[in-house]
């Protein structure tokens, strides 16, 4: 639990670093640059994980390339850092569903109830698009969440592998396709301008996303998923928006109107049910009587 909490604290604060880096660097370029530093030079010192190249490509594309390309695009298109940290938790719903379908894991009735409670929070956000929250941005962040969920299940099916090596070699998949995508969609002029005008704040933000958010946090996360069921581990990510919204308000001055707090309250309540509901004694009779829990 402590490792999971440390990981989500790093990830929650990471949204501030991303927003700062996006001031100078275009989103696809930022994705490519981030994973150049993730993989180099460690890829020369860590042996490739004992998995197939197909598994490595699938993991790298889902966990890193697709997730972060969509997330960076969403934040650039008009999703505030704190709200992005909240909406990205849509991955928990998809992860729980995939863990049932693909991994044959059992989901408690109370976890389904928790998912329904948290879904109200996502609806609240959807009802407040416009202004500093765009529909296009939200769609991109939700696509990032789906990519993360698929990667969670992929990681679980890899078994026990060196988590740091998995992150480093998985990150090696990203720079070439994201670099080409940046060249095609963002253009040489935007790339040159971004790299030429990137200051100390930008590079410190990139360093945070590389060394803390990726190398440290994802290594811990991969280890957790290799030792515990995905349905137990992934709900902890619902704490990411707590850190994300608080740090964004403190360091970026993002407003926290009532509707954002209401949305966060529903999502966090869903987390409590998903993680702690099966352990609550007063719920056990109801769980035992629930369909599929006999």
Most confident of 89-103, 135-149, 267-281: 135-149
Predicted pLDDT at 92: 77
The answer to whether residues 233 and 225 touch, using CB atoms and an 8 Å cutoff, is: yes
Q: Percentage of the chain surpassing pLDDT 90?
A: 50
| Mean per-residue pLDDT of the chain | 87
pLDDT in tens, 188-216: 999 999 999 999 999 999 999 999 998 88
Residue 181 has pLDDT above 90, yes or no: yes
Residue 276 has pLDDT above 80, yes or no: no
The pTM of the full predicted model, rounded to 2 decimals, is 0.84
The answer to whether residues 105 and 290 touch, using CB atoms and an 8 Å cutoff, is: no
The answer to whether residues 271 and 238 touch, using CB atoms and an 8 Å cutoff, is: yes
The answer to whether residues 159 and 223 touch, using CB atoms and an 8 Å cutoff, is: no
pLDDT in tens, 99-138: 888 777 777 788 888 888 988 988 888 888 766 788 899 9
Residue 270 has pLDDT above 90, yes or no: no
Predicted pLDDT at 279: 63
Place 294 in a pLDDT band, splitting at 50, 70 and 90.
very low
- Gap between the Cα atoms of 185 and 278, Å rounded: 47
The answer to whether residues 18 and 205 touch, using CB atoms and an 8 Å cutoff, is: yes
Higher pLDDT, 289 or 83: 83
Q: Which residues contact 150 (CB under 8 A, 6 or more apart)?
A: 62, 94, 98
pLDDT in tens, 233-248: 877 877 788 899 999 9
The answer to whether residues 162 and 215 touch, using CB atoms and an 8 Å cutoff, is: no
pLDDT in tens, 30-54: 999 999 999 999 999 999 998 999 9
- Gap between the Cα atoms of 94 and 236, Å rounded: 14
pLDDT in tens, 62-103: 999 999 999 999 999 989 999 999 888 888 778 888 888 877
Residue 274 has pLDDT above 80, yes or no: no
Place 288 in a pLDDT band, splitting at 50, 70 and 90.
very low
Residue 280 has pLDDT above 70, yes or no: no
Predicted pLDDT at 187: 96
């Amino acid at each position: 639990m402590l490792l999971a909490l440390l990981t989500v604290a790093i990830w929650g604060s990471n949204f501030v670093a991303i927003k700062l880096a996006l001031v100078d660097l275009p989103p696809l370029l930022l994705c490519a640059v981030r994973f150049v530093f993730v993989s180099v030079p460690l890829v020369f010192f860590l042996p490739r994980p004992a998995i197939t190249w197909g598994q490595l490509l699938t993991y790298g594309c889902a966990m890193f390339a697709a997730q972060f390309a969509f997330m960076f695009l969403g934040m650039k298109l008009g999703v505030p850092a704190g709200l992005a940290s909240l909406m990205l938790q849509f991955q928990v719903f998809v992860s729980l569903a995939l863990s049932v379908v693909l991994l044959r894991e059992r989901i408690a009735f109370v976890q389904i109830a928790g998912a329904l409670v948290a879904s109200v929070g996502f609806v609240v956000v959807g009802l407040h698009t416009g202004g500093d929250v765009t529909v296009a941005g939200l769609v991109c962040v939700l696509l990032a969440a789906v990519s993360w969920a698929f990667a969670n299940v992929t990681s679980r099916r890899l078994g026990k592998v060196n988590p740091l090596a998995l992150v480093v070699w998985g990150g090696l998949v990203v720079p070439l396709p994201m670099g080409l995508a940046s060249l095609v969609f963002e253009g040489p002029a935007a790339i040159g301008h971004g790299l030429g005008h990137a200051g100390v704040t930008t590079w410190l933000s990139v360093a945070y996303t590389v060394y803390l958010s990726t190398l440290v946090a994802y290594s811990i996360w991969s280890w957790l998923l290799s030792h515990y069921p995905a349905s137990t581990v992934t709900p902890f990510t619902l704490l990411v928006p707590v850190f994300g919204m608080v740090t964004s308000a403190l360091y970026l001055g993002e407003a926290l109107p009532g509707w954002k707090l209401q949305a966060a309250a529903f999502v966090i309540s869903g987390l409590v049910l998903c993680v702690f509901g099966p352990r609550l004694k007063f719920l056990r009779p109801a769980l035992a009587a629930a369909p599929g829990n006999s």
